[in-house]
Amino acid sequence: MDLVEFGWLVPLYCALGALFSLPWALGQLKGQKVAAFGGLAFTTLGLVHASLILPQVLSGAGGVHQIPWLDFGFLQIELSALINPLSAGMLVLVSAVSVLVQIYSLGYMDHEPALARYYGLINFFTMAMLGLVISNNLLLMYGFWELMGLASYLLVGFWWSKPAATAAAKKAFLTTRIGDFLLLV
């Protein structure tokens, strides 16, 4: 199996990690650590996949992988992922940093009652960043950029009951909206 051809799956591992954490984050299941370890496992799986892709890409594999999305006859919009040496290296880097953050968080956030929500948000943020890294068109890149902004807002405001956290989240949200506008200009 050509792992490079399925490089677009690397962000989806983190999306699955975020979805895996959801029942615990919503309080439907008990045992927050299960969600944390599950999220970490999905991100680690993405890191392994990215690490296996990198040597293949450095030896000449890679390319653009397109999936038709919307077809209006005169206009076709495709979801397009670019796997080249830069994007493959960034897949490894972003996944590795996310795995390290999640390992550190296991101890740092040990007694946090909303641990599952935190791991869901970290995986959501990582998915958005990995999607941004492999995006091959402006529409897809902008979509992942917006998802990253949303994830940043939610992570900054994680401790929403603290006034300083909510103020910082609002500031981060407004700052990224300005950046979003400038990105489009």
What was the pLDDT predicted at 67? Answer: 81
The C-alpha R_g of the chain, in whole angstroms, comes to 17
Cβ neighbourhood burial of 184 (10 Å; 0-12, 13-18, 19+): exposed
Q: Which of 111, 90, 101 is nearest to 33 (CA)?
A: 111
4 pLDDT above the threshold of 60: yes
pLDDT band at 1 (very low <50, low <70, confident <90, very high): low
Averaged over 137-152, what is the pLDDT? Answer: 90
**Model pLDDT for residues 91-104, shown as the tens digit of each residue:** 999 999 999 999 99
- Side-chain half-sphere CA neighbours of 170 within 13 A: 6
Using CA atoms, how far apart are residues 58 and 145, in angstroms rounded to an integer? 27
User: Looking at the predicted structure, is the pLDDT value of residue 39 above 80?
Assistant: yes
pLDDT confidence tier of residue 129, bands split at 50, 70 and 90: very high
With a cut of 80, say whether residue 2 has pLDDT above it.
no
Q: List, for residues 105-121, the tens digit of each pLDDT value.
A: 999 888 888 899 999 99
DSSP code, position 72: -
Distance between CA atoms of residues 18 and 98, nearest Å: 13
Arithmetic mean of pLDDT, 38-49: 97
Position 164 confidence tier, pLDDT thresholds 50, 70, 90: confident
Q: Crossing angle of helices 32-58/85-108, nearest 10°?
A: 160
What residue ranges do the domains of the chain occupy?
9-143
Q: 168 falls in which pLDDT band (50, 70, 90)?
A: confident
